[in-house]
Structure 1
């Protein structure tokens, strides 16, 4: 019986509404929130019609009804949904079960029905971001990988070097959905502070790693010093016999020998 009355009312409103200009609904609400937070789908609307009735639906299923100046008890609710203010919707202590496509439709005598739509997505916070390096010691033509890990609902991973964005441009390669930054044949100019940023629309965390790549000139200098020391030691060894054979006995030594 109730559904029949509601259907007849909607048809009557539509019939009356065809004769007038459609109203409008506007909102600045995003519908994105962290798990456990409240979500307010705040609306404002204009209409030339009268006797308003607002209907909220989730994925096409009616969940709440609002009539101005009618006690709150006459509105219908589902779970943690509440009608507030001028027909706006409050999702209290949100969970991922609240994810979905929300819509509000306002019907009024003298106006055509008009609607507004929201995509509600509840996210777990991004946490526990870590960065590791492989191999730990970089030498020669070895590629180095910086790998990022994070927990929570991560939608985007990005990298910076010394606060400058790093992308897929040689010698950099972003692998594993951007979780791995690979540097091919790096030299000392690629040393610096690398930061992994993991985020979603309502949460983000980052972690940094100091990459140190020795200058090739240092290796050459060390090699020169090393081989120079070896050469000097060999020279000393080759000179040792001649020193012993060139020792001259003083007169006292001669007298003792006589």
Structure 2
């Protein structure tokens, strides 16, 4: 029996050619240490089978089966499982040496061949960067390594697969990724995916950092104003697009300040600190710097000490007079008003170019009133008031009273004059001074000797001018006239 079995086996290995393939199209892939199932297309209905032989690389048999008995070489003991009903075979504990061609012969006229490829499984996928901290427009390389056999590589960034381009090179069978002219937009995480027909693995992410800048350096002031009052607090901020974060220094009018950092606080700022402020950003990795456009800080002193000074203490009609508006503070602007309304200028009333001096070429009584000088700058304002009283006269002296009265009647004459200050009065009768210095001359009982020419002399003690008026009065003797008699004024 055993001799016949070996003759059957020898014939199967050396000379049989299957009539129809009963194995699938190959190859089959399996990992080292794993198992593989060689499954035929036969079923129990195709049996019974006179004999089945499995061989490896045409010369080494794995199993010979006939009439319920199996012959298995020592090398395959405990490594195979044979399925007589379908002539299928499972091979376990695979090694790289198990890779090759497997054939099956099923007597009398069936058989097949299939290739088995054995692969070492993938594990320990790692990515080694040439550098992970780069300067923009330099280049970087990543190398992917892994255990396993017949390796294939795919590179992935944070969002998609990385493919070759003008700036991206994939070399060394796909295991090396090189990016040239790196920009900040290449700053992301990269992974390497390694695979073969029986396994795959992926690396931990490698983060690529790209140093760039500084650029877009700019500064701002808070509060943002065209002008600042002396004593204000101002905060200046500087920013720049930069990796790593930029270092900042400060300048005023091109002179470096001792301050550093992205914030500069000017507390209780003084007029002397006005000027054009700028900041400079510096990147310690790229070793470049950039200066911001300057911001002008205009500091103004508050308006104070506003006063109006006159060129004379007394304003006499016809004289030339000036009012000077004095003030301290920065960039004062002056506006004049009279009696609450805008000041009307003329040939006789003029202002200096800076509105500081108000000149009256020949002051008139109409120029009397309250004058206000409003001094302002963009951060403050103040005003001063001054009242002008124009001294003039006396003028238009007049005497009011009767020109005909009877003896024992009352004499009442009133003298008036236009004058500032009010005039003083002197009375005369027929050229001789008489008692009385007020505007009213009064005598209770007239006598005939009171007839004559009455003169009122008005005098202004400031202008030192005087003017007179005359009045004729007739005192008639006797009783009072009847109502029909002309009594005069």
Pair 137,82 (structure 1): closer, same or farther in 2 beyond 3 Å: closer
What displacement does 1:126 show? 1.6
Is the partner of 2:164 in helix, strand or coil? Answer: coil
CA distance in 2, matches of 1:9, 1:79: 21
**More contact order relative to length (CA 8 Å, sep ≥ 6):** 1
The answer to whether the 8 A contact 1:23-1:45 is kept is no
Structure-to-structure mapping, 1:86-165, within 5 angstroms: 86-108=86-108, 111=109, 113-121=110-118, 123-165=119-161
Correspondence for 1:193 among 164, 189, 199: 189
Larger helix fraction of residues: 1
Q: 1:2 to 1:106 in 2, by over 3 A?
A: same
Question: Per-residue CA shift, 1:128-174, capped at 9, x if unaligned?
Answer: 22212223321142111112122232511111122422122221101
Which runs of 5 or more structure 1 residues have no equivalent in the other structure? 238-242, 244-258
- Give the equivalent residue in structure 1 for 2:215: 220
The alignment's TM-score, normalised by the length of structure 1, stands at 0.70
CA contact (8 A) 1:162 1:194 kept: yes
Alignment partners' CA distance in 2, 1:210 and 1:8: 63
**Matched residues in 1 for 2:30 and 2:195: separation?**
13
2:57 matched to which residue of 1? 59
Change in CA separation of 1:24 and 1:175 when aligned onto 2, cut-off 3 Å: closer
Are 2:212 and 1:204 equivalent residues in the alignment? no
Task: Answer whether contact 1:52 1:68 (CA < 8 A) is retained.
Answer: yes
Please list every run of 5 or more consecutive structure 2 residues that lacks an aligned counterpart in the other structure: 220-237, 239-245, 258-271, 273-489
SS of equivalent to 1:79:
helix
SS of 2:255 mapped into structure 1: helix
Contact 1:126/1:154, CA 8 A, preserved across alignment? no
The residue that corresponds to 1:42 in the other structure is 39
RMSD of the alignment, in Å?
A: 3.7
- In 2, the alpha carbon distance for the partners of 1:6 and 1:172 equals 62
| Distance 1:53-1:120 versus aligned 2 partners, 3 A rule | farther
Size of the alignment, in residue pairs? 224
Does the residue aligned with 1:177 lie in a helix, a strand or coil?
A: helix
- In structure 2, C-alpha distance between the alignment counterparts of 1:203 and 1:119, rounded to whole Å: 16
The residue that corresponds to 2:164 in the other structure is: 168
Contact 1:29 1:40 in 2 (8 A): no
Q: In the alignment, what sits opposite 1:253? A: none
Cα 1:49/1:221, change in 2 over 3 Å: same
Question: Are the equivalent residues in 1 in contact too, given 2:133–2:208 (CA < 8 A)?
Answer: no
- The secondary structure found in structure 1 opposite 2:97 is helix
How far 1:196 moved relative to its partner? 0.2
Q: Does 1:235 align with 2:255?
A: yes
- Is the 1:193–1:211 Cα contact (8 Å) retained in structure 2? yes
Does the aligned pair in 2 maintain the 1:26–1:45 contact within 8 Å? Answer: no
The Cα offsets for residues 101-148 of structure 1, whole Å up to 9 and x where unpaired, read as 21223331xx4x431312231x33222222122233211421111121
1:26 to 17, 23, 26: 23
Instruction: Indicate the structure (1 or 2) with the bigger Cα radius of gyration.
Output: 2
Summarize the Cα distance change of 1:33–1:50 in structure 2 as closer, same or farther, 3 Å threshold. Answer: closer
> Partners of 2:64 and 2:16 in 1: how far apart?
17
How far apart are the structure 1 equivalents of 2:190 and 2:153? 13
TM-aligned CA deviation for residue 68 of structure 1: 5.8
- Say whether the 8 Å CA contact 1:154–1:198 is kept in structure 2: no
CA, structure 1 residues 176+25, in 2 after alignment: closer, same or farther (shift >3 Å)?
same
Distance 1:3 1:137 in 2: 72
